Structure 1
């Protein structure tokens, strides 16, 4: 079964451009790459350069998704990387890297030839919408599987989304397999609601007599100057009705009472700090090594974090090694790592790939061999 793809954690312009590039790349490869919703996708593209990128990666990684990092950085902690700026050619290379097929299309499907390989008479007589000129192609903004003209298959092929054929009158019917049970939605806390596409505009979240104003468009919030009064906000199970829209007049009045706006990333950091309860979040190996990419944000309310950050800045280390180096319990180290994974300051460490033998032939003996 081929992987399916979705997009998340990016602005509207980037999403539109990526859908267009994806549609063109899929057409080049025979139209066999479905673009679906984030929930249904096995592989999800995340804009790691956006504020919500690291949080989206953390959430999707914990859900067992394969994450493709869209980034201008030279490397990414995600499973695959799509460099910025991108085009259809780069997307096509990515698709083939994820599911290489040696240039062959699935059974029963004829791959669409690249425009440079088509004959003039083929270009003048398109046989489908996908073979038409670029300005006649279906809109790439629709997240759907691109249709591809198919040659008669050599043998029946079972499509994942196909409807089972009606039973023959002369042959006994075979009962269709029972559908897999749908997992009930897990309880959602504030860190889930802060994910892209969940909330927008200006809303209020009231908990334990303390209110927080969230401006999702400007990525900022108004609330207490310290973070610990927001423990109930971070740990409570929340429903959509817990977030109430705030009009302009009420917003101006209430935000003034709270003082200066604070970056939403600070609230996200605190939510991730509370989420693990002394354990790494799902999907992360407690025995792996982790490292800080840069000096993270630290709060006066958590003075031990300065010691943890100092130890982690020395190089990749396991949670136990960090704990031994700074004298902070492993549970608190795990919480600190969670918070910085969510905000993009930390990542799991991967040993570098070994250098090719061709790059190791230097030195005296290498020069002698080259004579």
Structure 2
């Protein structure tokens, strides 16, 4: 079976690095793969972190291609994922897995540089060891007996000085059971996360599958979906809901829950729910908004891809975004709230004021002044 791979939606430097990694990896896979154009290839790698990557993904997905997302994100909507940064080993593992799913199992050949030492070690192990004549015994000479040293004169006993009575140690206050200020009583999960109310590693109570939050590293371990956590963003949480976690318990439970995810994802979700279909009060509904970088869209919200695609084209009013994307105005407002809070979107900037004294200093200004 012919296995073909294409590359698109990336800059020339990334494409050259991928081609070099492909040739190295394909050599170890027996040359079973071939590079082809994205129109002819069955599998196409797309740089999802570039500006035009998501557009390429949408086009290829509609054409029925199997898309490989080259991205630093831990999740993707594409069929396969190649982590960034990549190398020949990671690309080779991906090509082998894709071939296996296509019904073409491939065995990875060991590099030639490693085969020679293995053969040499095997041959050396089969050769008989050379006989070594036994060494003649050597008698140890008796050690000279040293004369005993004269005993030193006893030193006079020191006179003990009067010592003050030991002071009683001051009692050490125990750490509070919850690492949050006692002055803060309650708030939604977004309030606790966005206002730096928590410190260290904590576990949130009453989460079915478990939720661990590391405030120092800004990551969390929990359910892969966001909607199961919606109740904690919409309700009120007291400080007692956050339980400190020691290192050994963290290691065990985080391994069970899976890879760490960025805490910004929870902040994004909290702001998505906070507006309840309306733009947040601090944002002007009469201004235009745009995406400044492509967000990590969630599978639970498939319409967000259409909204982001429209906002990547340039600044627009909320109503214009809703009409162009075919999504309700309430969903657009929620999406804009979430991405403004996490830095993926911004309001259209006002043009810089023009100084009248400098407006006629250019070539056309001089021509007009004649």
TM-score normalised by the chain length of structure 1:
0.47
Structure whose alpha-carbon radius of gyration is higher:
2
- Which has the bigger relative contact order, CA under 8 A and spacing at least 6? 1
Q: TM-score, length-normalised on structure 2?
A: 0.48
